[in-house]
Amino acid sequence: MGLMKEFKEFALKGNVLDLAVGVVIGAAFSAIVKSLVEDIITPLILTPLLERAGLKNIQELTWGAGVKYGNFLSNVISFLIVAFVLFMIIKGVNSLRKKEEAKPAAPPAPTNEEKLLMEIRDAIKAKS
């Protein structure tokens, strides 16, 4: 029964759950990037270039006896988009962290001795 307890503790740790969420979100993000490259960037930017080369899509680019460098180019474009988006996300998170760090900390509350001294000072001022 000890093995099951250890597994439960491992599986329910925050790091494992965070990793699982990250993998699922990463898969969904990958689909978005793939769609961005294939449905937006390729038709707008690459289609005119491909038409000049007599091709319909970038994956058809080949060299010699079946070297599919067009597919490689498509994957490179996808990677660059993912890297850029992640860079922008991390840059935004870092700027938010800097703003939080830049806020000055509240001054510490006066100690009992300081409060007593302030009361004495105020009492002396009131008498004079």
Per-residue pLDDT of the chain (128 residues), as tens digits, is 688 888 877 777 767 777 888 888 888 888 887 787 778 876 777 778 777 877 776 766 777 777 777 778 878 877 888 788 778 888 988 888 887 776 777 788 889 899 889 999 999 999 87
d(CA 69, CA 62): 6
As its CATH architecture, domain 2-127 has Orthogonal Bundle (1.10)
pLDDT at 65: 75
Report the pLDDT value the prediction gives residue 28, as an integer from 0 to 100.
87
Residue 95, Cβ density class (10 Å: 0-12 exposed, 13-18 middle, ≥19 buried): exposed
pLDDT at 14: 65
What is the residue extent of each domain of the chain?
2-127
Q: Which pTM value belongs to this model?
A: 0.48
Residues 91, 97 contacting (CB under 8 angstroms): no
Question: Comparing C-alpha atoms, which of 49, 101, 51 is closest to residue 77?
Answer: 49
Q: What pLDDT score does 124 carry? A: 92
Q: How far, rounded to the nearest angstrom, does the alpha carbon of residue 16 sit from its chain's CA centroid?
A: 18
